[in-house]
Structure formats: C-alpha cells, structure tokens
Amino acid sequence: MEKIVVFSCTNRPNSKTLQVSRIYENILKAKGAEVQFLDFRTLPQTLFLEEIFGMKTESYQKLINGFVTNNHKFIFVVPEYNGSFPGILKLFLDSIPTKFWADKKACLVGVSDGRAGNLRGMEHLTGILQYLKMHVFYNKLPISLINKVMNEHGVFVNEDQQKVCEMQVEGFLNWK
C-alpha cells in the first residue's frame, strides 16, 4: 500500500483541525496504510520571505522532498477561514513548484464550526489543486459544527461522524 500524507492545514495553535487530522492519521494506520503527517504549525516562520521569493533553505527543500516530491496521495484537512481556507495553505502550495503536484491525488476534508463544513473553501481549494494538475477525490467531506461533533479530547461524540470519515478514507485508499 502506498504512503499517504496528511496535511493539517492551519498554523493556529490548539485547533480542531489538528485533532481531525490526527483522527485521519489513526484511521489510515488502522487500515494498514503508511502515513506521514505534516502539521502546518511546524512550517518555517520565514516561509513568506525565503520560500516564495526563491531563497529556499536546505531544511525547507528537505521538507518538500519528504512530504511532497516523493509522495502521490495527500489528505488535506482544511478549516474554514473567512469563507475559504487558511492563507498558510495557499502560501505552502505557492512555495512548491507546480511540477511536484502534477498527476498526484488529493482528498479534501473541510472543518468548520458553521453549518457548511467549509464547502466553499474546499471548492476554492479544488480549483487550485486542479490548476496544479492534481486529481481531486470526488468525496469531499464537510465536517460541520465541529465544536458539537467533537469533544475536548479530540474524539467524535457521534459514531456516525467517525464512520463517514472511515468510509471516505476507504474510498480514497481504493481510488486508483
């Protein structure tokens, strides 16, 4: 089974996005997948200056090679920020040459305390990923009302939410 990279797409501390990302990591491991996990809180603070303006550091290049260049399937767990997705995610995508994304596969999970589960943000992200020539899995899962469906320990309080996440992962793993 190929390796899957889970991106926790916010640099906000103590986020529900990180908790949902960890749930996805655990689901993948339970299904026997090899998983890599990138918490966007660990991205370099100088990302704006160094990576966008062509002054890549050796450590950031290693990060790109380790998480993007040599992998082919990615799960983006994306919170809603102002009706879309976090700027740190756009900055991350912009800092990596487009050729490293081409013909790879993406699965999207939206996280929101509102009713729509970041549907709009996932659509915005879909357009960008398709521009990068990525294939986006059809089952984009919005997780709405996150503060009601997840407890303070990062566990879904509703087993149906866990099941739909597992079904999404199963479909993504089987997607050829």
Confidence at residue 47, expressed as pLDDT on a 0 to 100 scale: 62
In angstroms, the CA 12 to CA 109 distance is 17
Average pLDDT, the chain: 92
- Residue 149 identity (one-letter amino acid): V
The answer as to CATH 3.40.50.150 being correct for domain 3-174 is no
- Residue 52 identity (one-letter amino acid): I
Q: Domain boundaries in the chain?
A: 3-174
| pLDDT mean over 52-60 | 70
DSSP string, 87-102: HHHHHHHHTS-GGGTT
| pLDDT mean over 40-45 | 87
37 three-class SS? strand
> Nearest to residue 136, comparing CAs of 109, 170, 163, 99?
109
| pLDDT mean over 76-96 | 93
pLDDT higher than threshold 60 for residue 50: no
pLDDT-derived band at 132 (thresholds 50, 70, 90) equals: very high
